[in-house]
Amino acid sequence: MTDTLKIAEQMVRDLIAETNRSHLDTTWRYELTSDVGNIAVTSDGSAHTLRVHPCWLRYVVSQGDFKSCVAEEIDAYYLLAQLTGQVTAAT
């Protein structure tokens, strides 16, 4: 594992920890996997998994795009859920 991927994975860990502190009604976790094109969110009841392709993650971190490409994926999940009526409000 390269240093860039180690740094990127730590950024994801920090993001997940922050998200779990902010959204007490759900549990978030992450998975590095080549089974996704870039990034995806899967849900199983009140647990959500941020699935990230490691090569893509390393690239977006090296380009300085972590916030817009990874962190905002969780915000987009809550916004979409709110717009489709799956949650009443994001906390």
pTM of the model: 0.84
* Structural Rg of the chain based on CA atoms: 13
Distant-in-sequence, close-in-space partners of 85: CB < 8 Å, separation ≥ 6 = none
- Tell me: pLDDT of 21 over 50: yes
Per residue in 23-47, pLDDT (tens digit) is 888 899 999 999 999 999 999 888 9
Per cent of the chain over pLDDT 90 is: 71
pLDDT for res 81: 84
Sketch the domain layout of the chain as residue ranges: 3-83
Return the C-alpha torsion angle 88, 44, 73, 27, nearest 10: 80
